[in-house]
Amino acid sequence: MQRGINTRGIHGGEKSDPVTRALKTPIYASNTFSYSSMEEFFEDAANAYGINPEETTYFYTRTANPTTNALELKLASIIGCKGTLTTSSGMAAITFAILANYQAGTKILASDSVYRSTNQFTSEILPKLGIPYDYLDFRDLNTLEEQLQDNTYSVVHFESPANPTMRCYDIKAICDLVHEYNAESNVTFDNTFASPICQQPLELGVDFEIHSSSKYLNGHGDALGGVIACNDTEILSEFRRQFCETLGQTPSSFNSYLILRGLKTIGLRVKKQSENALTIAKFLEGHQKVTRVYYPGLPSHPQFEIAKKQMTPFGGMLAFELKSQDHITSFLNNKLQLIKLAMDLGDIQTLIEFPYIMTHYDLEYDLKIQTGITEQLLRLSIGIEDIKDLITDLDQALNQI
């Protein structure tokens, strides 16, 4: 029987250090690992790429490292999959998962509503490599089906809820359609906004679940990282050889240690963040200065029924609109006392940002408007502070506009 999420957070993937019996996984700062004989080297080489993640052996940290391995095992335990590959950042994980699954002669299909740098990857990097791609609004399953009928896509990529608009997409329906039209094609899915606590996309048909570990997985805003999770350790082992060993997109053992430590409390953190977010969403919905709130746990959310099917709880992210850009500027100028104006998310500390000018600043204007990134939209990443303090801060700042 699978253990509960908090138990897995604490115990998953970690064992006492075999040499010192240290209870907590140490930071193995060594670049390399030595052998007493060539025989020992050949024995170790058998699992150096981690086909069996529990028995990974080490020769050079660019390929695998014991601290990072403990993180990968804990992530697999929390996500509920056979294996994971960690990377130096979330973007490293996304770009590699897309490229690694691409087959020459096919195309890539991406949702029109993805994180800005993911969009930048498709619109700026893929054309340089001669890789054709299409964008589509994945809310419309009929158009998606037509597109899948008329084209051969080896990779289909999307995220839900989407950054920053909180648009939600029917993960199972999309995966079923993709696999129906091309059993060979792979769905890569960015689960950063929901975190593995709120949403389990691998169970809904996604082939590769990706996270920016810099966000909810670490939770403390002090380490960059990314992860690709799936149920095929042979593929992950191949990715390790191609991506970490050859392309060198490996995390540092220090960052692995920080993320490993942060992960232990992810169950508690995201539960509290989700409770706070729901209360704040309801508060904002009733505030006279706020014109619209987007939170998947509110019945007013356009995809509430879809969100209910695939998310519990509804996470710590929300978006809301004020009347105009002037109102936004006034609200953000020196009024909030506790909540910081900053572009990160998933932190234990509440952060706010203005996507139109900040995170999504260089997204093509038409795409911004098409995907709802308006001059009135603000994004909030809710932390674990006491709810009354967060509401007091938002209320006093809104009332000063």
Ligand X SMILES: Cc1ncc(COP(=O)(O)O)c(C=O)c1O
Q: Which is nearer to ligand X, 162 or 278 (CB)?
A: 162
Q: Is the dihedral of CA 259, 261, 262, 266 positive or negative?
A: positive
To the nearest whole angstrom, how small is the minimum distance from the Cβ of residue 345 to ligand X? 6
To the nearest whole angstrom, how small is the minimum distance from the Cβ of residue 199 to ligand X? 13
By CB under 6 A, residue 381 contacts ligand X:
no
* Pairing state between β 83-87 and 226-230: antiparallel
Span of 88-96, 233-241, 244-252, 360-368 interacting with ligand X by CB under 6 A: 88-96
By CB atoms closer than 10 A (0-12, 13-18, 19+), residue 20 is exposed
By CB under 6 A, residue 9 contacts ligand X:
no
* Three-state secondary-structure class, residue 4: coil
Member of 159, 170, 209, 321 binding ligand X (CB under 6 A): 159
Member of 190, 207, 321, 353 binding ligand X (CB under 6 A): 190
By CB under 6 A, residue 195 contacts ligand X:
no
By CB under 6 A, residue 200 contacts ligand X:
no
Member of 65, 86, 212, 381 binding ligand X (CB under 6 A): 212
By CB under 6 A, residue 214 contacts ligand X:
yes
> Could you tell me the two tokens for 202?
């691998």
- Dihedral, 52, 57, 63, 67 alpha carbons, nearest 10: 90
By CB under 6 A, residue 113 contacts ligand X:
no
Q: Which is nearer to ligand X, 115 or 356 (CB)?
A: 115
DSSP letter for each residue of 139-201? T-HHHHHHHHHHS-EEEEEEESSPTTT-----HHHHHHHHHHH-TT-EEEEE-TTTHHHH--G
> Could you tell me the two tokens for 315?
């996470």
- Using the structure block, give the residue that is written with the tokens 């095929």: 232
By CB under 6 A, residue 75 contacts ligand X:
no
Provide CB contacts within 8 A for 38, sequence distance 6+: none
Q: Which of residues 92-111 bind ligand X (CB under 6 A)?
A: 94
Phi, psi values for residue 154, rounded to 5°: -90, -20
Amino acid at 16: S
- Residue with the closest Cβ to ligand X? 90
Span of 23-31, 86-94, 137-145, 266-274 interacting with ligand X by CB under 6 A: 86-94
Provide CB contacts within 8 A for 214, sequence distance 6+: 89, 90, 221, 223, 224, 225, 226, 344, 346
By CB under 6 A, residue 192 contacts ligand X:
yes
Q: Which is nearer to ligand X, 69 or 86 (CB)?
A: 86
Q: Which is nearer to ligand X, 111 or 192 (CB)?
A: 192
By CB under 6 A, residue 218 contacts ligand X:
no
Binding site for ligand X (CB under 6 A): 89-91, 94, 115, 117, 159, 163, 190, 192-193, 212, 214, 224, 226
